[in-house]
C-alpha cells in the first residue's frame, strides 16, 4: 500500500470519525436536521456549543501530542520516547496541583487559574531540563535530566496531595486524569495557538530525517544538532503545554500513535509527522467519544482510557524492541 493511499485513508477516517462523533452522545443528534435548520433549539445548543468545540479540541490536542511524540522519537532516535520525558506533563501537574491546593484562595493567583498554572509549570519543567543538560545537550543527558525532573515533580504532587483536603484531592486527581468535559470555543481558540508550532515542527522534517543517521553524520551534513534539539524540544514543549493546560494529562497518545504510523508508512518525517497528527486526532475522537457514551449519564476521564490501552501497548513495544535497545 502506497504512502499516498495510506495518508488519504487516514484523512478520510478522520472526517468519518468526526461526523460520527458529532451524532454520538447522551443525546443523539440528527446531522441532517441540524444542517437543514429543522433541529430543536436544545439540539442546536448541544451541537454548536458543546459537541462541536469538544470535537475540535479532540483533533487539535490529539494531533499536537501525536506530532510531538513523533518528533521527539525521531530526535532521540528511540521509538519508546514520549513528550513526557522532557518534563512537560509532570511540571504541569505540580503547578496545577499547587493552584488547586493553595492558589484558589489567593486573589493574586486566582486570575491565572488551573490552565495558566499548568502551562507555566510545563514551561518551567522543560526549561529546567534544558538547563540541566545545557553543557552537552546529548540525548542521554536530556533523557536523564527529564527522568530526574519527572521524579521530583511526582514527589511534589504527592506532597501536595498529602497536604490537600478531601475536596482538593479529588480536584487534583480528576484534573490529572484528563478530560474534555466543559470545553468551550474560547478553550479551542487557546489550543489553536499550538497550530503554528506544529507547522514549525513539520519544517524540521528534513533535519529530523538526517539526525536519525547519528549526531556525527548529521553534523557532517551541515545540521546543527544542538540547535535542532533546542528548537524541537521547545516547540514540542509548547504544543504539549497548551494541551495539558486545557484538558489535563492525556497519556500514551504521543507514544502509541507515532509508533503505529511508523510501522505502517516508515520513518520519513515528511510523511510521518502529518500522518501522526491525523492519526492522533482520529484516535482522540474515538477515545473521547467512548468515554462520554460508555457510562451515560456519567463520563469517564479520557486519560483513564488512553492509559488502559496505551499501557499494555507500551509493554508490547518493550518486548519487541528489547533486542534493538538491549533492555
Half-sphere exposure for 51 (CA within 13 Å, toward CB): 25
Residue 189 has pLDDT above 80, yes or no: yes
pLDDT exceeds cutoff 90 at 107: no
Percent of the chain residues past pLDDT 70, beyond the cut: 94
Alpha carbon distance 41, 110 (integer Å): 35
Question: Quick one: pLDDT at residue 323?
Answer: 56
Cα separation, 218 vs 228, whole angstroms: 11
Our CA angle for 183, 17, 1, nearest 5°, is 135
Highest mean pLDDT among 4-13, 43-52, 195-204: 195-204
Question: pLDDT of 242-292, one tens digit each?
Answer: 999 999 988 889 988 998 888 888 889 999 999 999 999 999 999 999 998
What's the mean pLDDT in 53-79? 93
CB-based contact 92:244 (threshold 8 Å): yes
Q: How confident is the model at residue 327 (pLDDT cuts 50, 70, 90)?
A: very low
Give the per-residue pLDDT at 155: 93
Which residues constitute the domain of residue 257?
3-325
- In the chain, the number of structural domains is 1
Comparing 104 with 219, the larger pLDDT belongs to 219
Query: Is residue 106 over pLDDT 70?
Result: no
DSSP-derived secondary structure for 193-250: THHHHHHHHHTTHHHHHHHTT-HHHHHHTT--HHHHHHHHHHHHHHHHHHHHHHH---
Q: What is the pLDDT of residue 3?
A: 73
Query: What is the average pLDDT across 225-254?
Result: 92
At 1, the pLDDT band (50, 70, 90 cuts) reads low
Q: Is the pLDDT of residue 192 over 60?
A: yes
- Model confidence, pTM: 0.91
Q: Which is more confident, 61 or 29? A: 61
Average pLDDT score over the chain: 87
231 Cα distance to chain centroid: 18
Measure the CA–CA gap between 298 and 14, rounded to whole angstroms: 26
* Per-residue pLDDT tens digits for 4-46: 788 888 889 999 999 888 888 777 787 787 878 778 888 888 8
CA 87 to chain centre: 13
Mean pLDDT for 202-209 is 94
Using the predicted structure, report yes or no on whether residue 115 has a pLDDT greater than 60: yes
- Dihedral, 179, 181, 182, 185 alpha carbons, nearest 10: 80
What CATH number did the domain enclosing 268 receive? 1.10.3470.10
Amino acid at each position: 500500500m502506497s504512502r499516498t493511499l495510506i495518508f488519504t485513508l487516514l484523512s478520510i477516517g478522520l472526517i468519518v470519525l468526526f461526523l460520527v462523533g458529532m451524532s454520538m452522545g447522551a443525546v443523539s443528534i440528527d446531522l441532517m436536521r441540524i444542517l437543514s435548520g429543522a433541529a430543536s433549539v436544545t439540539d442546536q445548543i448541544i451541537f454548536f456549543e458543546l459537541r462541536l468545540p469538544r470535537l475540535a479540541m479532540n483533533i487539535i490536542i490529539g494531533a499536537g501530542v501525536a506530532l510531538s511524540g513523533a518528533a521527539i522519537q525521531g530526535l532521540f532516535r528511540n521509538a519508546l520516547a514520549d513528550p513526557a520525558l522532557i518534563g512537560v506533563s509532570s511540571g504541569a501537574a505540580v503547578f496545577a496541583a499547587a493552584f488547586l491546593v493553595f492558589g484558589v484562595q489567593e486573589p493574586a493567583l486566582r486570575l491565572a487559574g488551573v490552565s495558566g498554572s499548568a502551562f507555566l509549570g510545563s514551561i518551567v519543567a522543560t526549561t529546567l531540563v534544558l538547563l540541566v543538560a545545557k553543557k552537552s545537550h546529548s540525548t542521554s543527558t536530556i533523557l536523564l535530566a527529564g527522568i530526574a525532573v519527572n521524579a521530583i515533580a511526582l514527589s511534589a504532587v504527592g506532597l501536595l496531595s498529602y497536604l490537600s483536603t478531601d475536596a482538593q484531592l479529588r480536584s487534583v486527581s480528576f484534573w490529572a486524569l484528563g478530560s474534555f468535559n466543559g470545553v468551550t470555543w474560547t478553550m479551542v481558540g487557546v489550543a489553536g495557538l499550538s497550530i503554528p508550532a506544529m507547522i514549525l515542527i513539520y519544517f524540521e522534517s528534513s533535519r529530523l530525517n538526517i539526525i536519525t543517521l547519528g549526531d556525527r553524520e548529521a553534523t557532517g551534513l551541515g545540521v546543527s544538532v544542538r540547535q535542532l534539539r533546542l528548537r524541537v524540544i521547545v516547540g514540542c514543549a509548547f504544543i504539549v503545554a497548551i494541551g495539558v493546560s486545557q484538558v489535563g494529562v492525556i497519556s500514551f497518545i504521543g507514544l502509541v500513535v507515532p509508533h503505529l504510523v511508523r510501522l505502517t508508512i516508515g520513518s520519513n518525517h515528511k510523511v510521518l509527522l502529518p500522518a501522526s497528527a491525523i492519526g492522533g486526532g482520529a484516535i482522540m475522537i474515538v477515545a473521547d467519544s467512548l468515554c462520554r457514551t460508555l457510562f451515560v449519564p456519567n463520563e469517564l476521564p479520557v486519560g483513564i482510557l488512553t492509559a488502559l490501552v496505551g499501557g499494555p501497548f507500551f509493554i508490547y513495544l518493550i518486548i519487541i524492541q528489547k533486542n534493538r535497545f538491549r533492555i
